[in-house]
Structure 1
Amino acid sequence: MEFISAREAADKWGISQRRVAVLCSENRIDNAAKVGNMWLIPATAEKPFDARSASCIQNDGKKVKPFLKWAGGKGQLISEIEKHYPFEARKITKYAEPFVGGGAILFDILSKYDLDKVYISDINAELINTYQTIRDDIDALVSLLNKMQSEFHPLSTENRKKNYLLRRERFNELKINGDENTNVEKAALMVFLNKTCFNGLFRVNRKGLFNVPMGTYKNPIICDKENLYAVSEKLQNVIIVCGDYRESADFIDEKTFVYFDPPYRPITDTASFTAYTENLFNDEEQIELAKFVDEMHRKGAKILVSNSDPKNIEKEDNFFDDIYSSHKIKRVEATRMINSKSDARGKINELLISNF
């Protein structure tokens, strides 16, 4: 008999890892076995009926916002993107976001709609660990972030820099050598660094180590307790996966709205923000994504894709017009929010590509 971990079962069933452990301890999952402190669940096990789990994600009116500042974040484009939300007819009851990033669109949708199932993923392991920790271990995370904030705020600029560099070094150590026992600490460090680093940028070097210097903020809010708890509540029934966008294929069907927000194609040699992870997203990857979009289109899903508009620089560049020729392409104005040079921010066009 093949077994999966409690974390894998949690991702598969769209519930928290802690809830899986409780169901195992209550003998609600046949043939589940405890080895040390870990539960192992048969790979073929079905999710047991759980009265605590609602059949859909309830919209309780609480507004939640992204807990991280993220390169390519869509907060400024929500008003344009929400025009494409296809939920009103109630034929679309699922949502998938395979490049979740900072989650601006995710949290906007969770704040406004009741959906049966939601799936998010990203290949950035540290980012996904933070989402999962907020969902599964919010009390421990908030406690640690509050401690970090209390230690950081009173320090002089020089000592803040020392504190920042120590925490950055620890984050990189856990990034390479961490295990499940350090997930909460790693998530707390991820939030801390995001709130205190230069421009909130997540960048790694060729060795995969986070290398952004400290920013110049007076008293950054490192522990936004109210929002973190609200986010945790919204994520309780969300399937959170660390993996490639292609893994969303089994989730996506004719009842699904899918938003693809991949690393943008650079419009200049210096404008690339694809260093969110060690993996680059080149033109070949953009073409493969377009093929995947076509596959999901044939499944009947409602699809929206965003990307940069190469025509900002080169009017004859038809790259996206060609690979998405069978879909609708709309150009919308946006402000580049994160750049290595603050004076390089400005108005540009971005693309919204849809199949409906």
Structure 2
Amino acid sequence: MTKTKAKPFLKWAGGKTQLLPTIDSFLPETFRHEYDVTYIEPFVGGGAMLFFMLQKYPNIKRAIVNDINPHLIKTYTVIRDEPFSLIGTLNELQNTFKSFVEYDQQKDFYLNIRNRFNQSQLTDVEEAAYMIFLNRTCFNGLYRENSKGGFNVPFGRYANPTICDEELILADSELLQKVELLNGDFSHTAEHVQGYTFFYFDPPYRPLDATSSFNSYVKESFDDNEQIRLKDFYSNLSAGGCFAMLSNSDCKGRNVEDDFFDKLYEDFFIERVYAKRCINANATKRGTLTELLIRNYENYQGEPTNLFNS
């Protein structure tokens, strides 16, 4: 039997799985040959890039990932440190959920777990298990919080959801042994720069329009002021000699007059790449759009894909 590869254990809006080959082609040429690399992700999210990088590049000797969502980082931590306890709790949830044959029974169980996740004092293992359970059974696999920080995604409709993927948890746990996990503002990751350091940023995307906004992963919003603060952080890292790549939405692809990012990152290299958006309540709005890859270095293995000539 082929050993299960480590990959994201959650479905996450904006996940980078289908963009990984493109992102890989734009890594710094020196990255591939440097022996001792420090890899930092200030917005780890679902972790597609993290799991990909750690499996493909053994020259990454230190990996530091951060997210402002405390439930998310708690879940990563439990998978890394207590995988067997997590598997036991997830199996109990899975068996109970699947013992209900009626949709309304499953929905009631889901809402009960959601309420406990938001209000109860939980052990770390319970919190992580509930996080995974809710992700596997909620509508469209979303993670969203209200203004009070409560998870508020409604119940989904799945015939036979996999709530406990034991092999995946163990594979992810093994890979996460070399990862330091942080919970806080992205700016604190600068404290972990050491030697040859590569940053990959995947922040909450700037909305393409008023109806497409989805960056409520936590109660704190990530508005244009935050995007500007992130750019200043990116510039400071660049001035300090770090290599950095950043993903974001291509607002100009929707509105040619919207050059927010083109002006904000005019001192850096901006590429437009195609990506398929898979999470949207309206199926007609799922499809292929352009996204931005912004880097602070010139040498890479890919070919320029800029769709707008300045």
May I ask how many residue pairs the two structures share in their alignment?
Answer: 291
Partner secondary structure for residue 153 of structure 1: helix
Q: Is the 8 A contact 2:4 2:167 kept in 1?
A: no
Q: Is the 8 A contact 2:42 2:186 kept in 1?
A: yes
Aligned pair 1:234/2:234, yes or no? no
Alignment check: 8 A CA contact 1:336 1:345 kept: yes
Aligned residue for 1:258? 199
Alpha-carbon offset, residue 135 of structure 1? 0.9
Question: Normalising by structure 1, what TM-score?
Answer: 0.79
The 5 Å alignment of 1:325-340 reads 325-340=266-281
Aligned-pair distance for 1:254? Answer: 4.8
Distance 2:227 2:281 in 1: 24
Residues 298 and 62 of structure 1: CA distance in aligned 2, closer, same or farther (over 3 Å): farther
- Select the residue among 88, 104, 107 that pairs with 2:32: 88
Which amino acid is 1:272 matched to? S
Equivalent of 1:222, from 143, 149, 163? 163
SS at match of 2:22: helix
Counterpart of 1:97 (choices 32, 36, 41) is 41
SS at match of 2:134: helix
- State whether residues 91 and 255 of structure 1, in contact with CA within 8 Å, keep that contact through their aligned partners in structure 2: no
1:91 Cα offset (Å)? 5.2
User: Deviations for 1:150-179, whole angstroms, at most 9, x for unmatched residues?
Assistant: 1112312121111111111111113xxx36
Q: Which residue of 2 aligns with 1:170?
A: 116
1:92–1:322: structure 2 CA closer, same or farther, 3 Å change rule? farther
Unaligned runs of 5+ residues in structure 2 are: 298-310
1:142 to 87, 97, 100: 87
Letter in 1 for 2:268: H
Change (3 A) 1:328 1:91: farther
Distance 2:193 2:236 in 1: 10
Structure 1 position 154 matched with structure 2 position 96? no
Shift of residue 287, structure 1, vs aligned partner: 0.7
Give the alignment partner of residue 282 of structure 1, picking from 216, 223, 247: 223
Amino acid at match of 1:116: K
| 1:112 counterpart letter in structure 2 | K
Is the CA contact 1:94–1:117 (under 8 Å) kept in the aligned structure 2? Answer: yes
Q: How many Å separate the matches in 2 of 1:161 and 1:140?
A: 25
How far does residue 90 in structure 1 lie from its aligned partner after superposition? Answer: 1.4
* Counterpart mapping for 1:124-135 below 5 A: 124-135=69-80
Amino acid at match of 2:44: V
Please give the residue correspondences for 1:105-120 in structure 2 after superposition, counting only pairs within 5 Å. 105-114=49-58, 115-120=60-65
Contact 2:247 2:294 in 1 (8 A): yes
8 Å CA contact 1:197, 1:212 repeated in 2: yes
1:216 is paired with a residue of what secondary structure? Answer: coil
Answer whether contact 1:253 1:296 (CA < 8 A) is retained. no
1:312-327 pair list within 5 angstroms:
312-327=253-268
TM-score (norm 2): 0.91
Residue 303, structure 1, aligned to residue 247, structure 2: no
SS in 2 for 1:116: strand
Partner of 1:4: none
Aligned partner of 1:93: which letter? V
Q: Which has the higher contact order (CA 8 A, sep 6+)?
A: 2
Which ranges of 4 or more aligned residues in structure 1 deviate by more than 6 Å? none
- The sequence identity of aligned pairs, in percent, is 48
**Equivalents in 1 of 2:257, 2:185: separation in Å?**
31
Residue 252 of structure 1, CA deviation: 2.1
Q: Distance in 1 between matches of 2:72 and 2:220?
A: 14
Alignment of 1:49-68 (within 5 A): 63-68=5-10
* Equivalent residue, structure 1, for 2:20: 78
Kept in 1, the 8 Å contact 2:270–2:292? The answer is: yes
Query: CA separation in 2, counterparts of 1:111 and 1:149?
Result: 29
Structure 1 residue 346: Cα displacement: 1.3
Q: Secondary structure at the match of 1:277?
A: coil
Distance in 2 between the 1:126 and 1:171 partners?
9
Tell me, in whole angstroms, the C-alpha distance in 2 between the residues paired with 1:300 and 1:315. Answer: 33
Query: In the alignment, residue 96 of structure 1 is paired with which amino acid?
Result: I
Find out whether 1:121 has 2:66 as its counterpart: yes
Per-residue displacement from partner, 1:279-298 (whole Å, max 9, x unpaired)?
11111110110110011111
Q: Name the CA distance, whole Å, in 1 between partners of 2:38 and 2:255.
A: 38
Q: Once the 2 structures are TM-superposed, how far is the Cα of residue 342 of structure 1 from its aligned partner?
A: 2.5
Is the 1:253–1:299 Cα contact (8 Å) retained in structure 2? no
Residue equivalent to 1:270? 211
Q: Is the 8 A contact 2:37 2:195 kept in 1?
A: no
Q: CA deviation at 1:253?
A: 4.3
Tell me which structure has the larger Cα radius of gyration.
Answer: 1
